[in-house]
A and B are shown apart, each in its own frame.
Chain A
Amino acid sequence: MLGFVIIVAFEMLGVGLHRLGVPLPGSVLGLILFTLALLLGLIRLEWVERSSLLLVRHMTLLFIPLMAGLATMTAELRKNGVALLASLVASLLAVLLTTGSLAHFLLRDEEIAEINREADLLP
């Protein structure tokens, strides 16, 4: 429970800072401050680990009400449908391929190190 208190406190801190005029979204500010607090040792990992993994693992659940809400805005979506769908698919493919191929070249040695580590563990 302490974990949830800490996480919600950082969310509120982020939202508060955003309201005071910091031009980044509140939850992003919360995320940055929370990660910094972990890195600086202000918060111990074991205080927040269980609560946050619970939230992260079941993030799919948190999207269900929003998805159901899409059924109420079919008219708006249809009006701009073609442009938005084209933009969605093109941008999705572009991000997948740019990130994937760049990571393929830049992160390759990390991958090999990992495979070697796993190979070492084999009998």
Chain B
Amino acid sequence: MIRPTLHLFTHPALYILLTLAVYALSLRLHRRWAWIHPLLSASVALIFLLWVLHIPYASYNTGGGVFTTLLGPATVALGVPMYKQGIKLKATLPRLSLVVFAGSAVGMVTAGGVASLCGASHRMVMSALPKSVTTPIAIEVSRSLHGDPAITAAMVLLTGLLGSVIGPGILRLVRIPHDHAVGAAVGASSHAIGTASLFRSSEVRGSVSSLAMALAGIFTSVLAMLLNLYWRARGAGHPW
């Protein structure tokens, strides 16, 4: 994987700069052609650049990893939209919680169920369970269930990307056009990536979505915790 290539690009700051530049360009591209998801164009461009310049991913990540580290604080920062929307949507909050709870439970059951029906190993099934919630939460949930955090991260990213590209269209197709419903559905299924793309088009959708994704993150961790406690209570530990 890592080729022993001589290259001049070794300073982490350069990789931070590279990531920022790719991001800025992809946002500009998105403003011009709205259907190009900035995350998709940015990552494709970055993968291409690393490949052309013979930069191993491991050395890119000495700088790029800074952004990954910031995902933790970014999750905590969700408290602000949650607080603001929670106050604004006080009357709907219990109903929204119920809706998101149902979505999270259905998501975990279908993700695990379909993966195991398709013959995935137990470890892969556990890695699939938290795929609907934002990366820093999903990785920790996956670890607590003895899944593979890298596989989980891959599924989380692809789910978020796919959901933010096709989610609003599918909901329009089944005649669910309301901002609150779209926000709740995209937030619960496509977490931060979906929320970020909704924010670019509608404040209301984005706000409901950020509340929904934070709730989904909490509910999914609680459900995973209960699953773990159940296994521990049976005294058998994990069933493998």
Contact = CB atoms under 8 A, between A and B. Distances in A.
B184 A107 contact: yes
B60 A106 contact: no
Contact of A100 (B160, B181, B192): B181
Nearest to B161: A67
A102 B99 contact: yes
A20 interface: no
Please report whether the interface of chain A is mostly helix, strand, loop or mixed according to DSSP.
helix
A121 interface: no
Contact of A69 (B61, B106, B163): B61
Interface in A21-76: 23-28, 30-32, 34-35, 38-39, 45, 48-49, 51-53, 55-73, 76
Given A62-B68, A65-B61, A71-B57, A100 B50 contact: no
Given A35-B79, A95-B132, A107-B92, A64 B181 contact: no
Given A94-B107, A114-B204, A48 B72 contact: no
A15 B225 CA distance: 16
A74 to B, nearest CB: 10
Contacts of B107: 91, 94-95
B76 interface: yes
Contact of A86 (B19, B84, B114, B180): B114
Interface in B190-210: 190, 192-193, 195-197, 199, 204, 210
Given A83-B115, A83-B119, A98 B75 contact: no
A69 B72 CA distance: 18
Interface residues of B, number: 114
A31 B75 contact: yes
Q: Which of B61, B64, B151, B158 has the most CB of A within 10 A?
A: B158
A108 B181 CA distance: 8
4 smallest A-B Cβ distances: which pairs?
Answer: A65-B64, A25-B140, A99-B103, A52-B77
Interface of B: 1, 19-20, 22-23, 38-39, 42-43, 46-47, 50-51, 57, 60-61, 64-65, 67-68, 70-84, 86, 89, 91-92, 95-96, 98-100, 102-104, 106-108, 110-115, 118-121, 124, 128, 131-132, 135-137, 140-141, 144, 150-151, 153-155, 157-160, 162-163, 167, 170-171, 174, 176, 178-182, 184-186, 188-190, 192-193, 195-197, 199, 204, 210, 212, 214, 217-218, 221-222, 225, 228-229
7 contacts: A24-B222, A70-B43, A84-B124, A103-B96, A103-B185, A107-B99, A107-B181
